[in-house]
Amino acid sequence: MSQIEDEYKKRFNQQELSNGDFDSEGLWGAIAEDLDQTQPKENQQKRRFLFFFLLLTGALIGTYYFSTSSQQIVENTVGNYANTDSNAEANTEANAEANVNTQKALNSLVLSSKEAEQQNLPTKTAKKAAPTAESVKTIHATPELTQAPLKESRAVKPLATIEKEVRSTRTNEIRSTVFPVENNSTKKQSVAAEKQPVENLNPPAPQAIDRMSMSLSTLPTLLSFVKSDADLQVPLPVLNRESDPLKKEKSFAWQIGVWGGSNLINFNYKSDNSPDLAKLKAQAETGELGISLGLNTTLSWKNRWLFNTGIEYHRLWSKFETKQQKSIQINKENQLLKAWTDGFTGDTLNRQYGDITIDGIATRTVVHYNQYQQFSIPIEIGLQQTSQQLVYGVTLGGILNFTTKQSGKTLSKDAAVIDFDTNNAMAPFKKFSIGLRVNPFVGYRISTAWTIKVHPQWTWQAGANFDDTDLKLNIHQFNLNLGLAYSFD
Amino acid sequence: MEVDYDLIQSCIAQDRKAQKQLYELLLPYLRAIANRYLRDTSYIKDVLQESFVKIFRSLDKYNFDKAPLKQWAAKITINSAFNYNKRVIGVPKEEFVVASHETPILPANVQNWTDDDLLLTLKKMPEGYFEVFNLFVVDGYAHEEIAVMLGISEALSRKRLSRAKAWLKKNYEKIDLRAQPNRSSIS
């Protein structure tokens, strides 16, 4: 080290400048203000993530609400009807009052169903009244109930009236049902249906007479012919939920899915000032197969329009390969340097050997596998078409990418091989970026709830900003994924 | 300068008093660093402000075992200074030419130069040489580290260092020769 270098090191290494007239308080004030005002980027990212997480949760809850509320209204209406009917049966101990009570009770059904509709109060009371969803499928009439109309022909009238009224209000959604009723010995139980106007109402007990299925619309006609309980034991086919014309078609449906697949990235560099460097960098790094995994949820409207979101994990790989040439000096030992020959005979008289150094060019090939790790949240809208068991369509939209890890080798602005990691300015991915996504899909319904899907994807995102060059990087990602989705009815 | 673990933890917990204490401990050293690495020292406050904000924000990532806090903070300040140099001056394509009127009149013996004279000479080095020389000779960074900090290869770092030394030698001789008559005239 020369004298001047020594002097530099001696003077400036570990040098400290006394504050003197330097305004250290003013500087501290500015620093404190900066620390107070702006939040660290990481916190901002966390907040963004939290925001989208809450958005996602809200979407799921909203979807769940929409998909279940109309079903609850159906249960509520039917449950009230069933309860009322069995309560009417309980009142047939006094035959004279039976018809009146039945009418009252059934009228209350209409009231309840209307209330349920108007007040949208559906759920808990209704669920209590309608013990299980399965019970919604059948009608049960009790002997007492059916005997009452036989004694007084006008007793048929309320049922028919009720039927009409119920149908006129909300019966499109009703599967006409009467529940099993209890024996007389268990009748004096507490009243479960709070809003029934009928006194002495008893809830139905689980022990019951044989079930009999029938359509509510056939009940009045049937009642005019029956003479005993046995006549009522006419089984009717259970209504098929899927094909029930009375069932209201739901507008919204909710689907969740899981998928996995393989990905391939492509780096596309552009530069106005250094096109050669852009070309060199693009040639040096080529995509390799990586893996992608994801969970997604899709809200469909009228089985046609889609809103899709979820969370994805991508493990991306690329191969960095470049050849570098370097001037080197090669030592060769024991080489012939000189030879002396006899001028007359031409014989070699003496030879001189020694080591020589020659200039050469060494070519070095650098091969390295770069790796990147991303978490993404897609927000897409789309369209789908259904043809028998086949579902196909496309979703497109934006994608929020969070790059959590990246490491490998790349070329610097001087085309030298350098290492990069997550925090390095030469790393190709931004820590956070917004991209675009196109996601066509084809699915096959293996059952009413389960669908297998194949969906290729194309995703675009802008690469990092390289401070000291005008390089621009576009990253394209291609995926081929296989997924399984479950639909909530 | 001793920085204890508790002080750092308090700073991470956003304790303003602790942060100010750390600021006061680091300021003299980081000021010297910024002063040396900045081409235009009028931006020294900006660089220090940016550096300290970065230091406080990323203090939770600082690893005690890897390097002393002072060295870690210095690295942040050096990077900030480089960024300012690029932003303010840009990256010159050609070497700086020492204008005759800017040439300091210096004593023949370098030991008699003031710190300012030495720094002024250093800052006249071409861009690239200046950083590598400063990092390697004065602050003792290895070529491997310099390569990462500057985003260049190790080979290029070595090349720039040897060129920086050659430049300094050449210019030092010029300055030295010019300094003789001046010195005699002064005396």
Q: What is the pLDDT of residue A110?
A: 47
- Chain A neighbours among B 20-39 (CB < 8 Å)? 20, 23-24, 27-29, 31-32, 35-36
- Chain A neighbours among B 167-186 (CB < 8 Å)? 168-169, 172
Give the confidence band of A382 by pLDDT, cuts at 50, 70, 90: very high
Mean pLDDT of chain A: 71
Give the confidence band of A258 by pLDDT, cuts at 50, 70, 90: very high
Report, as an integer, the average pLDDT of B91-116: 56
Residue A95: is its pLDDT beyond 80? no
| The 3-state secondary structure of chain A, one letter per residue | CCHHHHHHHHHHCCCCCCCCCCCHHHHHHHHHHHHHHCCCHHHHHHHHHHHHHHHHHHHHHHHHHHHHHHHHHHHHHHHHHHHHHHHHHHHHHCHHHHHHHHHHHHHHHHHHHHHHHHHCCCHHHHHHHCCCCHHHHCCCCCHHHHHHHHHCHHHHHHHHHHHHHHHHHCHHHCCCCCCCCCCHHHCCCCCCCCCCCCCCCCCCCCCCCCCCCCCHHHHHHHHCCCCCHHHHCCCCCCCCCCCCCCCCCCCEEEEEEEEEEEEEEEEEEECCCCHHHHHHHHHHEEEEEEEEEEEEEEEEECCCEEEEEEEEEEEEEEEEEEEEEEEEEEEEEEEEEEEEECCCCCCEEEEEEEEEEEEEEEEEEEEEEEEEEEEEEEEEEEEEEEECCEEEEEEEEEEEEEEEEEEEEEECCCCCEEEECCCCCCCCCCCEEEEEEEEEEEEEECCCCEEEEEEEEEEEEECCCCCCCCCEEEEEEEEEEEEEEEEEC
CATH class of B93-187: mainly alpha
CB pairs under 8 A between A and B: 108
Domains of chain A, earliest start first: 67-232 (no CATH), 252-325+366-488 (2.40.160.20)
Chain B residue at shortest CA distance from A43 = B57
Q: For residues A283 and A90, which has the higher predicted lDDT (pLDDT)?
A: A283
Whole-angstrom distance, CA of residue B52 vs CA of residue B32: 14
Query: Which pLDDT tens digit goes with each residue over A435-474?
Result: 999 999 999 999 888 999 999 999 999 888 776 677 889 9
Q: What is the pLDDT of residue A173?
A: 42
Report, as an integer, the average pLDDT of A288-307: 92
Residue A373: is its pLDDT beyond 60? yes
Give the confidence band of B175 by pLDDT, cuts at 50, 70, 90: low
Contact B137 A9 (CB under 8 A): yes
Give the pairing type, strands A252-270 and A305-341: unpaired
Q: Of all residues in chain A, what percent carry a pLDDT higher than 90? A: 24
Between A85-89, A453-457, A474-478, B119-123, the lowest mean confidence (pLDDT) is in A85-89
Report, as an integer, the average pLDDT of A123-148: 41
**Residue B152 touches chain A, beta carbons under 8 Å:** yes
Q: For residues A380 and A138, which has the higher predicted lDDT (pLDDT)?
A: A380
CATH, domain range B1-90 = 1.10.1740.10
Tell me the chain B residues in contact with residue A40 when contact means C-beta distances shorter than 8 Å: 57
Give the confidence band of A230 by pLDDT, cuts at 50, 70, 90: low
Residues of chain B with CATH 1.10.10.10: 93-187
Contact B27 A24 (CB under 8 A): yes
Residue A51: is its pLDDT beyond 90? no
Q: For residues A54 and A228, which has the higher predicted lDDT (pLDDT)?
A: A54
Q: What is the pLDDT of residue A220?
A: 53
Residue A184: is its pLDDT beyond 80? no
A35 vs B32, B56, B152: nearest CB: B56
Give the closest-approach CA distance of B180 to chain A in angstroms: 17
